[in-house]
Structure 1
Amino acid sequence: MSQTNPVVAKVLDQVDSNLELSLARLFEWLQIPSISTDTAYRADCVRAAEWLNKELSGLGFDAKVCPTEGNPIVMGHARRTDKPNVLFYGHYDVQPVDPLELWDTPPFEPVMITLPDGRKAIRARGACDDKGQVMTFVEACRAWKAVTGELPIGITALVEGAEEDGSQFLPEFVEAHKEELKADLGLVCDTGMWDSDTPAITSSLRGLLYYEIIIRAADMDLHSGHFGGAAKNPIRILSNIITDFHDENGRVTIPGFYEGVPEIPADILKQWEGLNLDAESFLGPIGLKEPAGEKDKMIIEQIQSRPTCDVNGIIGGYTGEGTKTVIPSEARCKISFRLVGDQDPDKITAAFDEFVKARVPSDCKLEIIHYKGSRALALPYDMPALGAARSALKDEWGVDAVMIGTGGSIPIVGDFKSMLGLDSLLVGFSLDDDRVHSPNEKYDLKSFHKGIRSWVRILAALAE
């Protein structure tokens, strides 16, 4: 572990000595029921935005509440000309609380609880997602200002109020304010740790492609006794296509599918091996035993760094109670692909269409519906800011930060890249048992406290 800079040490002491005040501020914000998916809470969303705007203004940010056609966005600037400038993103809106009867305490009356294993945690809606996470960053900024009178780097804060409602109007806002939002790096605090003692940096987000295949044969459902054996069955055709998507080793067979899939550096693979994520620990809790992905890849690769193809739904024929002996006239399925690295969605779509067309008989009709997709995003493993953040997190937690990917997508990260040309560093402190989006959402006190300390160190590292 490296020696802590004396100034950084003073800022960390400031964090520790003011933890109770930091918690009081978080609790005050958590009391505002800023539910974005229900227009009945529109005024509360405005209140939550105004609360944060006041806090940022008090820290010297040139902050304002920016109206949109939906909930307002808080934007604040504290730029520097002599240091790097970052764009910090978070959200102040929260999920609905239903079912209310499953909460042990009122969702907007935050309390400190003791978990069965002795951990202290904050319970409230938004405690983790995302008010608690946003406040780890805000409180780190507060500590820097208190000790040094300034922030170690330039910061623009962008905190929206509709993330839980699809980030409505945010892409349009970013496009309209491109000049104001210019920065050297994006920072996102809406992700998690590997476990309660191991920090993580989300270094990649898998992309997504989604299609619907519809196969039509006869112009009506047919009696299987009269036509069985002679008439084409769309379900059988569709089943054969689905079977052909993978080979016996779990690899996707669409030509050119793996173009642009990167090789993971040896040191990262070694780190992943040390995490001991095996079939028993990952699949056992959901009642499964055997991995379904590429047989020569670890489970952690299958869920993070490898592309996938999955059937999400099949519809066709008679599915009601009892029997009905028909050959259906139509069958359809929904297919999704998760992309990684530099896989090209357009090339994969063209290859997918040809792959499916080649397997449909000439006297049957094929329709393929293309839904909106997104490219994968990944940080270069040799990116200086990534190395700085890893070093800072190790100094705080005493162990190497795990470089992880996520199978989900965070659309704003793609918007930052496409609209602003920004790579984004995703560092968060949530845990798997934080009950995000569920009753009794919580945020470990350790995650909150060391999250603040982690951001203090990361800001210092980025300044260098």
Structure 2
Amino acid sequence: MEASLERIGTQIDRDLDQHIANIQSLIRQPSMSTSGGLGIREMAVRLQKAFAELGCQDTALFDTSGNPVVFGHYDTGASKTLIVYLMYDTEAVLPEEEWISPPLEANLVELPPFGRCIIGRGAVNSKGPLQAFLNTVAAIHAAGEALPVNLKFVAEGEEELGSIHVADVLQDHGASLQADALFFPAAGQQANGHTTLTLGSRTAIIFELEVNGERWGRGPSKFEIHAGSRSLVDCPVSHLLEALNCLIADNGNRILVEGFYEDVVPPNEEEEELLDRLAARWDEEAYRARLGVKAFIDGLAGRAALKRLIFEPAFNIRGIYGGDSRTGDVNVSKAIIPHRAVCKVGLSLVPDQNKVDIVEKIRAHLDRNGFADVAMRVRPDYLRDPGAWGQVSVHDDIVVAMLHTYARYGIDPEIWPRSPGGWPGYLFQHYLGIPFLSGGAGHGGGAHSSNEYLVVDGHDTVRGLADLEKSYAHMLYEYASL
């Protein structure tokens, strides 16, 4: 294994200029799922061709009612098969004037302290890592080596929209997608070289609550009216606030819905041990500084704060809209009683909460407490996979392989039992029963914002593109050896 990896590393170094150009070319092809699907089909066709040119014996575009999923199967006759999950869609680039380099030119720009970086939409999230992994596979071939595992590429074009149709593909093509584990190539280091490895993900439900006067039977029913009538006429915005206060208390930190917490599973022995290790290393002050918050809920700190962050569900009001929503000038105001009010809510759920069950409990709670008129709208695909969260063990081969890989680069990652957020790996576990993991020894930043970048040069602490690609090769070989 070591001789093979040395030859592959030499090949990556030799081909680095071409590998940079490959990433730049991919970024220059727009594929913005959040901007009307600009360039999505073209990118999907391009990836299918790339998989074939890489040596995949079987490629396909799995059409959905949304954007296609691109499939490629590279069968080496190995004993293990790895799904390589990829996302080829990106967020939009606006506002373009905030970029220091045009977002679709993918220019090399000097960014201290990293040296050269590729700047462009998708540089780190995640066209850069996507193409870097393909570069790695090409380098393995060019070095005269064989892939140590079979690969099944699954590239979706709707991750930024919530991976709406991945479940359809997994249901319709599950027989073609059988594998032992899933790997999502990423640049896993932060700007200071700090690295985390997460072993699971939560799931989310996004819904809207709406009050309108016509459905309520009180307040303005068809249109906003003059505020002079407020002494006699109810206000839908106030009714919406009352409905929210029926659902939550203590600044939204305690959820009042009957049975909401009854399926929450406490951390097991392995997770408690990982939590102890994480608490011993966690830089709480730096975490708060990064978020820009002065204190955590209920004054929580240390292990208790981490336990709540990782293992407890949360109810978040993302926004409330109704009537005159202009801000910034108290002298500008519209004297009205609004006829409707809407709020967006994000629920973060944990094992073993069931999304359908939770939605039903919220609806029933509102009805029982006098808010049957409050409309609740949930995106249908959120309810298709009721238990859509995921969890893997630190002892799973894919995790052990990634830890061995990081050790080669002197990286000792913080291991989080579960991510506070989520990504689509849980869907593959749900439908295929396989563990999932993301990682890579490199860095990028600015995902979803201006000046998104991927580090090319790097330094002793933050690895550059060559090491990112080598770490993918190391992970493949480490996984095959277990």
TM over 0.5: yes
CA contact (8 A) 2:199 2:437 kept: yes
Q: Counterpart of 1:179 in 2: which secondary structure?
A: helix
* TM-score of the superposed pair, with normalisation by structure 2: 0.77
Match of 2:430 among 418, 422, 425: 418
Give, as a single letter, the amino acid of the residue that structure 2 aligns with 1:461: E
Q: CA deviation at 1:460?
A: 1.1
Whole-Å separation in 2 of the counterparts to 1:301 and 1:256: 21
Q: How far apart are the structure 2 equivalents of 1:301 and 1:396? A: 29
State the AA in 1 paired with 2:277.
Q
Within-5 A mapping of 1:233-244:
234=239, 237-238=242-243, 240-244=245-249
Q: Deviations over 1:164-214 (max 9, x none)?
A: 455565443443322222211122235743554233333222112345456
Contact 1:211 1:368 (C-alpha < 8 Å) held by counterparts: no
Say if 2:86 and 2:154, in contact at 8 Å, map to a contact too: yes
SS at match of 2:84: strand
Structure 2: runs of 5+ lacking an equivalent: 221-227, 327-331, 457-462
Residues 16-64 of structure 1: CA deviation (Å, up to 9, x unaligned): 333233223222333333444556844x852x44544444334322243
Give CA deviations for 1:292-345 in whole Å, capped at 9, x if unaligned.
Answer: 26837544444443211223344678879669698x998765443211122233
CA contact (8 A) 1:65 1:74 kept: yes
- Alpha-carbon deviations, 1:339-362, whole Å to 9, x = none? 1122233443444345444543xx
2:55 maps to 1:60: yes
- State the Cα RMSD in Å: 3.8
Q: Residue 410 of structure 1: CA displacement? A: 2.6
- Of 255, 260, 264, the residue aligned with 1:257 is 260
- 1:10 is aligned to 2:10: no
Alignment coverage as a number of residue pairs: 446
Structure-1 separation of matches of 2:293 and 2:115: 30
Equivalent residue, structure 1, for 2:480: 463
Aligned counterparts of 1:319 and 1:78: Cα–Cα separation in 2: 54
Match of 1:348 in 2: 358
C-alpha distance in 2, partners of 1:322/1:52?
A: 52
Residue of structure 2 aligned with 1:305, choices 311, 321, 324: 311
SS at 1:416 equivalent: helix
Residues 246, 253 of structure 1: 8 Å contact kept: no
- Amino acid aligned to 1:416: F
User: CA 1:346 to 1:163, structure 2 compared with 1: closer, same or farther past 3 Å?
Assistant: closer
Q: 1:242 to 1:294 in 2, by over 3 A?
A: farther
* Range with greater deviation from structure 2 (381-390 or 178-187): 381-390
Alpha-carbon distance between aligned partners in 1 of 2:166 and 2:240, rounded to the nearest angstrom: 42
Deviation at 1:133, TM superposition (A): 0.7
Instruction: Read off the aligned partner of 2:74 and give its amino acid letter.
Output: A
In 2, are the aligned partners of 1:251 and 1:294 still within 8 Å (CA)?
no
State the AA in 1 paired with 2:313: P
The alpha-carbon distance between structure 1 residues 186 and 319, as it changes in their structure 2 partners (threshold 3 A), is closer
Question: Conserved in 2, the CA contact under 8 Å of 1:377 and 1:414?
Answer: yes
Specify the code of the residue in structure 2 equivalent to 1:59.
L
Whether 1:155 aligns to 2:167 is: no
> Aligned partners of 1:27, 1:324: CA distance in 2, in Å?
53
Residue aligning to 1:91? 87
Residues 220 and 134 (structure 1), Cα distance of their counterparts in 2 relative to 1, 3 Å cut: closer
C-alpha displacement of 1:121: 1.2
The one-letter amino acid of 1:403's match is W
Shift of 1:154: 0.8
1:9-408 equivalences under 5 Å are 9-38=6-35, 41-42=38-39, 45-46=41-42, 48-64=43-59, 66=61, 68=63, 72-164=68-160, 167=163, 169-189=165-185, 192-213=188-209, 219-220=218-219, 234=239, 237-238=242-243, 240-244=245-249, 250-258=253-261, 259-263=263-267, 265-278=271-284, 280-284=285-289, 287-292=292-297, 295=300, 298-314=304-320, 333-360=343-370, 365-367=372-374, 369=376, 371-372=378-379, 373=382, 375-400=388-413, 402-403=415-416, 405-408=418-421
Q: State TM-score, norm by structure 1.
A: 0.80
1:379, CA displacement in angstroms? Answer: 1.6
| Cα distance between partner residues in 2 of 1:227 and 1:49 | 55
The farther-off stretch of 139-148 and 348-357 is 348-357
Structure 2 contact 247–256 (Cα < 8 Å) conserved: no
Range with bigger deviation, 180-189 or 55-64: 55-64
**Distance (whole Å) between structure 1 residues aligned to residue 308 and residue 190 of structure 2:** 17
**Structure 1: segments with no counterpart, 5+ residues:** none
Q: Structure 2: how far apart are the matches of 1:24 and 1:319?
A: 47
